[in-house]
Amino acid sequence: MDNSTKISKLQGKVQPYAWGGSQFIPALLQQGNPDNKPAAEYWMGAHDNAPADIITANGQKQPLNALVAQDPVTILGKTVNDRFGRLPYLFKVLDVKDMLSIQVHPEKTAAVEAFAAENKQGVALTAPNRNYKDDNHKPELMLALSDFWLLHGFKPAHQLKQVLQQTPELQFLLPVFGEGNYAALYKTVMEMDQQAVNDHLQPLLDRILPLYEKGALKKEQEDFWAARAFNTFCEPGRTDRGIFSIYLFNVVNLHPGEAIFQDAGILHAYLEGQNMEIMANSDNVLRGGLTNKHIDVSELMKHVRFEPVVPQVITGVPGKAKGEEIFPTPVNDFELHRISLKAGEQTTVTATTADIYFVYQGSAEATAGSEHLPLKKGEAMLAKAGTGVQFKSTDNTVIFTATVPA
């Protein structure tokens, strides 16, 4: 992509994490997957761990992080470059077949300090016991593409007490929680001796697993996900303590087109479904269970907001362009837009920074001045800051845009 080019095709990177499905992302990208390898995430961004590639006019590939570094003011725009000094967002498609780890993300200042500290200690960036992959915070917005289930923040006190009361095996936690001592409650289950975890959870699992196997549990019930977590993560002699969290957190069901925002400090875990996700340009994750990856409980506890959360479902608000909706969040790093066009319709948008457009459904032709790019389902395009882009759909088309608030 040279200085004169305004728009270019962009090719993301598939991440083969074990929890991912093998069909949804390859089908979306119109690629084969004969070996049925997991395709968990499709990254479209400039993160150093897996930068997307710009496809030049002659078919050459150029990593997006390298392109931005060459001429950040032209690519990102002066305002975004002055504020962030990098492409501030990471844009993804996710296919969650198995539950993801219970996790929390650090705030910006904490991430800067902790990343520098691990570097000073000589912990390799690729080391499995590394907590901080970069110096950035990781607030994130996800939009459901299917029926989607997740855990999101601590239940309000009255609901949490009710669940503990109704689950005989967890009643021992009622005096710990009292009238709302979230920190004491979480510290108790996260720092409990492994044998005590096994002793408390085994009677619960003995009771609910037969119900799960018979199909008698519903996804709205904590017991459903606790039973599934046992089948997915537990090994002989080691029951995953993350099962406690399923009862402590809100179980949220999003319908296609609904979104939710997860800020620093909010414990969460994706359970099942497909989504579009946009976040600050970071891969910092501190894990608290339901995983075979590295867990650092003391580090996790430093970043958790010990407070109740009432899940706020976000729906799109009309944007300036025809067919455009915006999903607002309280952060400056990113904003997700959705453009919906019927066959033959057209709309014009202007890139706020280096904006990425991903065709989720249908096909369209993108035009910027004398440049034209045909885009079909599963293809993505980058537009430089300030570029006016006209999309003309050839059939019913849905395009997701990664940008920053104007």
Closest of 161, 71, 139, 170 to residue 384, by C-alpha: 71
> Does residue 287 carry a catalytic annotation?
yes
Closest of 87, 63, 61, 62 to residue 74, by C-alpha: 87
List C-alpha distances in Å: 62 to 55, 139, 249, 379: 7, 28, 43, 16
Within 10 A of 344 (CB to CB), how many other CB atoms are there? Answer: 10
- Give yes or no for a contact between 80 and 403, defined as CB atoms under 8 angstroms apart: no
- Give yes or no for a contact between 286 and 106, defined as CB atoms under 8 angstroms apart: yes
Chain position carrying tokens 């080019």? 5
Q: Give burial (CB, 10 Å; 0-12/13-18/19+) of 112.
A: middle
β-sheet bridge partners, residue 54: 10, 62
Write down the catalytic residue from 86, 241, 287, 338: 287
Tell me 218's DSSP state: -
- Give yes or no for a contact between 350 and 389, defined as CB atoms under 8 angstroms apart: yes
Distance CA 278, CA 261 (A): 10
- Give yes or no for a contact between 155 and 247, defined as CB atoms under 8 angstroms apart: no
Closest of 399, 392, 393, 259 to residue 339, by C-alpha: 399
Q: Give burial (CB, 10 Å; 0-12/13-18/19+) of 18.
A: exposed
- Give yes or no for a contact between 137 and 263, defined as CB atoms under 8 angstroms apart: no
List C-alpha distances in Å: 326 to 270, 314, 315, 316, 392: 23, 10, 8, 5, 20
Within 10 A of 122 (CB to CB), how many other CB atoms are there? Answer: 7
Give catalytic residues, as residue numbers.
287
